[in-house]
Amino acid sequence: MCERDGDGNVVGIAGLSQNQHPHRFTLNGIRLSTWCALDSLFLPVMLQQTALVSSPCPTTGETIRLTITPEGVTSYQPASTVISIVIPQPTKNGLESVEEIWMTFCHHIHFFSSPQAAQEWFAAREQEIAILSIEEAFELGRLTLSEVLRHI
């Protein structure tokens, strides 16, 4: 799946974008963004590069900062940071466009400053979610990426 600008040029692919999304993703001083928080965790593995990530907690507004290498997450602040993972209910149309992926997954997968902030955010929403530690989410991203790469 790719993201295109108004002229049809590719500006994002596989979760990495030149456009602005909430999850700032810096590689070698180049500022990009990712479609969702989980993308921020598997892209360093795919690119074999260390990334600096900053993302606002949607509940508190607090900036969450992470350093992610191809081997794992080496630091994150605050120490209570977690990530939400949506358990999707696929539509009959599937996930055939980047917009469908965003609506089903990306708009609901966030870094939160604490488990309580995540629970508060989703209390009034109807998505079925799991709240994972950063380490668990990195492993999920790594496993997902390895499964995708197996089919390429």
Structural domains of the chain in order of their starting residue, each with its CATH number: 2-150 (3.30.450.410)
- Alpha carbons 103 and 135: distance in angstroms, whole number: 25
CA angle (125, 127, 131) in 5-degree steps = 100
The proportion of the chain whose per-residue pLDDT surpasses 90, expressed as a percent, equals 60
State residue 103's pLDDT score.
59
- Tell me the per-residue pLDDT of 42-84, one tens digit each, with 9 for 90 and over: 999 999 999 999 999 999 999 999 999 999 999 999 999 999 9
State residue 8's pLDDT score.
92
- Tell me the per-residue pLDDT of 16-43, one tens digit each, with 9 for 90 and over: 999 899 999 999 999 999 989 999 999 9
Would you name the residues annotated as active-site residues? 36, 39, 106
The proportion of the chain whose per-residue pLDDT surpasses 70, expressed as a percent, equals 85
Q: What is the arithmetic mean of pLDDT over 5-26? A: 91
State residue 87's pLDDT score.
74
State residue 101's pLDDT score.
60
Q: Is 141 exposed, middle or buried (0-12, 13-18, 19+ CB in 10 A)?
A: buried
Contact 36, 106 (CB under 8 A): yes
Calculate the average pLDDT of the chain: 87
The answer for residues whose C-beta is within 8 angstroms of residue 87's C-beta and 6 or more apart is 127, 128, 129, 130
CA quadruple 141, 98, 67, 45: dihedral sign: positive
In 3-state terms, what secondary structure has residue 131?
strand
Which carries the bigger pLDDT value, residue 71 or residue 98? 71
State residue 128's pLDDT score.
79
Binning pLDDT at 50, 70 and 90, where does residue 14 land? confident
